[in-house]
Amino acid sequence: MVLNSSAKGKYPKKIIMENNKPIEIICCIALHDVKVYDHLLPIAKHPLISKIWVIRVEEQKHKEIPGVEYVVIPHKFKIIRLIDMLLTSISLGKRPEIKAFISFNPIPYGLIAFIAAKLNKKPVHLGFIGSDWNIHCKGLFGGIYKALFRHADFITTTGSNMKKEMVSEGFRKDKIAILPHSIDLNHFKLTTTNEKKYAGIFIGNLIPLKNIDIILSAFKLVLKKYPEKHFCIIGDGPLMNKLKDQLKGFPLTDNIEFTGQVKNVQPYIENSRSVIIASTTEGFPFVLVEAICSGVIPISTPVGTIPEILTDNENALFFKTGDPDELAEKIILLIENNNLYNKLKENVIALRENFSFQSATDTWDPWLKKFH
C-alpha cells in the first residue's frame, strides 16, 4: 500500500505495512474548499486509504489533502456538469483499485455516487451533513430518494434524531453512523479577551429558511437599548437587497454590517461574542462547529441536531423559532450578565475535542476496514 504521511494516531503500523492492496475511493463533491478539506482529511488520514479521487469543478486551493487526486469537471451549465460528473464517476469506478464511492449532500452528488457505485457493483456511502433529509427526503420526490438510498451501504448523519427517522422509514440501523463535523482545531484559536467587535453575527446563505429577517429585527431591538453595539451579516443570496431594505430609516444602520460572501470567516467569528442561528430547520450547521471551537456562544433555535449537541443555558442559549423579541433578550442577556457569558464560554470550549479530525476518522474506521 502507498503510505499516507498523515496516517497517525491510534492505528497500528502493522495494518499499514501488511496491506499490499491499495484502497482507493471516489468522492463526488461540490462544497467550498474549506469544507472539502474538513470532510475529506479524516478519511485521508486513515491508514488503509491510499488515494481519494475527488470529482469537482476545481482543485483544492485551501490546503493540500494528502493522497488526493482531482478530476476537474469544468464550469458549464449545471445539468451538463452533473452529467459529466456521472459519466466520469462511472468510468473511473471501473478501476479494480476503487473499492467504494463516498458523497456529501445526497442530492445531487450523492445520487451521482449512488448510480455510479451500483453500476460498478461497489459499495457507496451517503453523507447527510445538513438539512438534506428534511429538504429532499421529505420533499416532492422524497419517496423515490428514500427507496433508492435504503440500498446505500453506509450512511452518516449529524445526529441521532435523523438516524431514528431513517430507521422509522425502513433504513437499516446497522448501516447508519453519527459522524461528527470535524475541523482543524489548530486553525481555530481561543481568544482570552471578552471584548469583541460584534455582539452577534450570522454566517450563511441569505435564503428564507435561515430567517435572517428575524435576526435583523432582533439586532434593531438590541441597538435601541445599546446603540454602541455592532452586528454582522456574513454571506450572500437572493434576499440581500430585501434584508438591506428592512433597515431603511433605521438610525443605526451603520452598526449592522453586511459583508457579502467571505472566504475566511474565522476573523469575524473570533471577534464576536455570539453566533446566531434562527433557522426553521437545520442539521448541525458547520458554523456552529467553528464558533464552538473558537469559544463563541451559540444563540440558536432548538431545531434539527442542535439540541442533541448543545444544551440551553449550559453551552448555548435557545430561543423560539420566529421570535425576534426572545432572540433580542438572549443577546442582551450575554451583554449584561458576564458571569453567564463566562460560564457558557467555558462549557463551549469543553466541546472542542468532539470536533477533532480524529473523532471523524474513528467513525469511518469500521466501514473502511471492511475493504482491507
Assess whether 128 and 160 both reside in one domain.
yes
Residue 367 belongs to domain with CATH number: 3.40.50.2000
The grid coordinates of residue 73 equal: 469537471
Assess whether 202 and 156 both reside in one domain.
no
Query: What is the count of structural domains for the chain?
Result: 2
Length of the chain: 372
In whole angstroms, give the CA distance from residue 197 to residue 194: 10
Please check whether residue 127 is in contact with residue 110, taking contact to mean a CB–CB distance below 8 angstroms.
yes
Task: Tell whether 1 is covered by a domain.
Answer: no
Cα separations (Å) of 327 from 275, 314, 320, 332? 12, 17, 8, 9
Assess whether 220 and 342 both reside in one domain.
yes
Helices 111-119/78-92 angle, 10° precision: 30
Backbone angles phi, psi at 156, to 5 degrees: -120, 145
In whole angstroms, give the CA distance from residue 320 to residue 45: 40
The grid coordinates of residue 270 equal: 473570533
Handedness of CA 210, 213, 219, 222 (dihedral sign): negative
Each residue's pLDDT tens digit, 59-114? 888 788 999 999 999 877 889 999 999 999 999 999 999 999 999 989 999 999 99
Assess whether 178 and 203 both reside in one domain.
no
Full-model pTM? 0.77
In whole angstroms, give the CA distance from residue 8 to residue 210: 39
pLDDT at position 130 is 72
pLDDT at position 17 is 35
Task: Tell whether 201 is covered by a domain.
Answer: yes
Confidence of residue 305 (pLDDT cuts 50, 70, 90): confident
Q: What is the domain extent for residue 320?
A: 185-354
Residue 46: closest CA among 182, 185, 162, 186: 182
Task: Tell whether 306 is covered by a domain.
Answer: yes
In whole angstroms, give the CA distance from residue 20 to residue 18: 6
Task: Tell whether 7 is covered by a domain.
Answer: no
pLDDT at position 317 is 98
Whether residue 16 is predicted with pLDDT greater than 80 in this model: the reply is no
In whole angstroms, give the CA distance from residue 317 to residue 85: 42
In whole angstroms, give the CA distance from residue 215 to residue 244: 12
Cα separations (Å) of 307 from 45, 74, 303? 30, 40, 7
Assess whether 173 and 133 both reside in one domain.
yes
Residue 185: closest CA among 353, 371, 7: 353
The grid coordinates of residue 137 equal: 427526503
Q: Is 153 helix (H, G, I), strand (E, B) or coil?
A: coil
Assess whether 140 and 43 both reside in one domain.
yes
Each residue's pLDDT tens digit, 267-301? 999 999 999 999 998 888 889 999 999 999 999 99
CA-based radius of gyration for the chain: 22
